[in-house]
Chain A
Amino acid sequence: MGGRDPNVVLLDENGKRSDGRTVNETRKVTIKAGVLKNANGSAYIEFGENKILAGIYGPRDVHPKHLSNPDTGILRCRYHMSPFSVGERKNPAPSRREVEISKVIKEALEPAVILDQFPRTVVDIFLEILQADGGTRCAALAAASVALADAGIPMRDMVSACAAGKVADTVILDVNNEEDQAGQADMPMGYMPNLKKITLLQLDGVLTPEEYKKCVEVGIDGCNQVYEIQKKALEEKYFSKGDQ
């Protein structure tokens, strides 16, 4: 997504990246909980240049009915990019990439939610990528967790998310679009910070076994940083003014 500039310096001699960050620094992340009126829970995240809305509907009746499970509620997830979210207009029909990302995000959240009190229902997660700049699946996952908590869905833990990667033979935290296009590896991660479980993990790009371990460690560290911001978003909505 987006062009690549072959002359871009991904890591300069002072250890600064193309957008001025150090190797283990995330982009600026802000999250606001409860931004939609109609949704049962919602969140808006800005993760660097990424802008994403997350909305939760449910638990509610399942349509089509045959998908419902008499033993537990089910989770459904739609990750969708707006046509104007990227450089060249994206066809609004769901691509195979979006189908796959929807699935991995759903599977990253399933270990966290407790839905057996809501048999035959569905909790729908809608993730709309309004602007994309690399790392949208992680940002969307982080927003989805806050929105689920905002909707009052029982959860074992928050799911936090951040990517690690490799540029200029160096392991870095939170790969942006430029680094993803020109870099050597991208490893998005979803993580439950209290249960210490990795629930989303993908990788493309070549890593030695040592770099792989380092990437997972760096990714966990990034997830822990994002977790603090997720908690703050919920605190701001529910504890700051003393209402609700």
Chain B
Amino acid sequence: MGHNSVIDQLKKNQIVDLLNEGNRLDGRKFDEHRSLTIDTNVIPKAEGSARARLGDTEVVAGVKVQVEKPFPDTGDKGMLICTAEILPIAHPSVETGPPGPPVVELARVVDRGIRESGMIDMKKLVLVENKAVIGIFSDNSVTDHDGNLFDACSYASTAAILSSKIPKYEIKDEVPVLVEGEFTETPITTIPVSVTMARIGEHIVVDPNSDEWMIMDARITITTNSDGNIVALQKGGSDGFTYEQLVKCSEISISVGSKIREIIKQSTQGN
């Protein structure tokens, strides 16, 4: 989705005019996210899964758990890898093939938010030190695209991990052997929540939809943990932020993040 057409320019004018009057195109307040619904365990064959709908953006995340050989310098920790893919059913502009820079960035930002929060206690995922660890793979498939994939993928992955169970392994002669039908809890320490904001002119709006996404000047994704601390951040888009705007964005990310954290908690309870 890209080049500026006359329609885009007209839409931009309309969005900016509305923002100047204090309104958004879809009637939301500036710091209001779209409705978020999360269903968990939607893919029973995965060890954890969730479908997140953020407005009209929809993502299915599945967690697969398997035994991995650790990286040479982190033999005392488990592995976590988050990926993201925008499926061709999600939008007419999506092309199949190797991921371009925007999709690489999407996956890395989602991964960084969950990883840097320390959501999963990686030290508890070691089976045989330096030889075998538990690997947690959270793969996001975007099935419908109406902007702000960063947050939708992040919520889907977080919910999928919260709903996940880790298969039990017994160690025999330093080799892990699967114990059929038995699971342990995934060691969760905190719930990371990313909040993406767009700067359009001098206005900061939370959770931009695709209309806002296409015409924004710059964006920022800030991830906070359950303690209200900031754990990851990514600026994007072809313009910048002032210091004051960055401080404001951090405050918004904490307050909006705590609301979304409650939704994620309630949606994943009873797992």
CB pair A198 B240 closer than 8 Å: yes
Interface residues of B in 212-268 (CB under 8 A from A): 220, 225, 228-243, 246-247, 250-251, 254
- Say yes or no: is A241 at the interface (Cβ < 8 Å to chain B): no
- Alpha-carbon distance A7/B116, docked complex (angstroms): 22
User: Are A209 and B233 in contact (CB-based, < 8 A)?
Assistant: no
Judge if B26 is at the interface, Cβ distance under 8 Å. Answer: no
Inter-chain CA distance A69–B251, complex, in Å, is: 37
Stretch at the interface among B10-18, B37-45, B101-109: B101-109
In the complex, what distance in Å separates the CA atom of A70 from the CA atom of B27?
A: 34
A195 to B233, CA, bound (A): 22
Question: B3: CB under 8 A from chain A?
Answer: yes
Tell me which residues across on chain A come within 8 A of B232, comparing CB atoms.
203-204
* Chief secondary structure at chain B's binding surface: mixed
Residue pair A197, B254 in contact (C-beta under 8 Å): no
Given contacts A71-B4, A202-B234, A206-B229, contact A100 B240 (CB under 8 A): no
- Bound complex: CA of A104 vs CA of B105, how far in Å? 9
B residues in contact with A139, CB < 8 Å: none
Which residues of the partner chain A approach B3 to less than 8 Å between Cβ atoms?
69
B64 contacts partner chain A, Cβ-Cβ < 8 Å: no
CB distance from B244 to the nearest CB of A (A): 10
A200: Cβ under 8 A from any B Cβ:
yes
Please give, as numbers and ranges, the residues of chain A lying within 8 Å of B236 by CB-CB distance: 103-104, 107
CB neighbours (8 Å) of A69 from chain B are: 3
State in angstroms the CA–CA spacing of A103 and B243 once bound together: 22
> Within the complex, what minimum Cβ distance (angstroms) separates B223 from chain A?
9
Q: How many residues of B contact A (CB 8 A)?
A: 37
Q: Which single residue of chain B is at the shortest CB-CB distance from A102?
A: B101
Within 8 A of B (CB), among A103-157: 103-104, 107-108, 110-111
Q: A125 → chain B, closest Cβ, in Å? A: 14
Interface string of B70-114 (1 = CB under 8 A from A): 000100000000000000000000000000011011011000100
Q: Are A196 and B242 in contact (CB under 8 A)?
A: yes
Instruction: Please indicate the chain A residues that have their CB under 8 angstroms from the CB of B250 in the complex.
Output: 209, 212-213
Contact check, B104 vs A201: say whether CB atoms are below 8 A apart.
no
Q: Which residues of B contact A208 (CB under 8 A)?
A: 229-230
Shortest A113–chain B CB gap in Å is 10
A229 at the interface (CB under 8 A from B): no
With A3-B73, A216-B243: A104-B235 Cβ-Cβ less than 8 Å: yes
User: Hey, what's the 0/1 contact readout for A38-50 against B, CB within 8 Å counting as 1?
Assistant: 0000000000000
Contact B101 A103, beta carbon cutoff 8 Å: yes
Q: Mark A5-28, 1 if CB is under 8 A from B, else 0.
A: 000000000000000000000000
Q: With a CB–CB cut-off of 8 A, which chain A residues contact B247? A: 213, 216
User: Assuming A198-B246, A201-B233, A212-B250, is B225 touching A206 (CB within 8 A)?
Assistant: yes
Beyond A96-B107, A204-B232, A209-B229, 18 extra complex contacts between A and B, CB < 8 Å = A71-B4, A99-B104, A100-B108, A103-B236, A104-B105, A107-B237, A108-B240, A110-B238, A111-B240, A198-B246, A199-B235, A201-B246, A202-B235, A204-B112, A205-B231, A209-B228, A209-B230, A216-B243
A residues with a Cβ closer than 8 A to B are 3-4, 69, 71, 96-97, 99-100, 102-104, 107-108, 110-111, 187, 192, 195-209, 212-213, 216-217, 220
List 6 interface pairs A-B (beta carbons < 8 Å), by A numbering: A102-B101, A103-B236, A198-B235, A201-B246, A202-B234, A216-B243
10 closest A-B pairs by beta carbon, nearest first, are: A197-B240, A203-B233, A199-B240, A201-B235, A110-B238, A103-B101, A204-B116, A99-B104, A111-B239, A207-B230
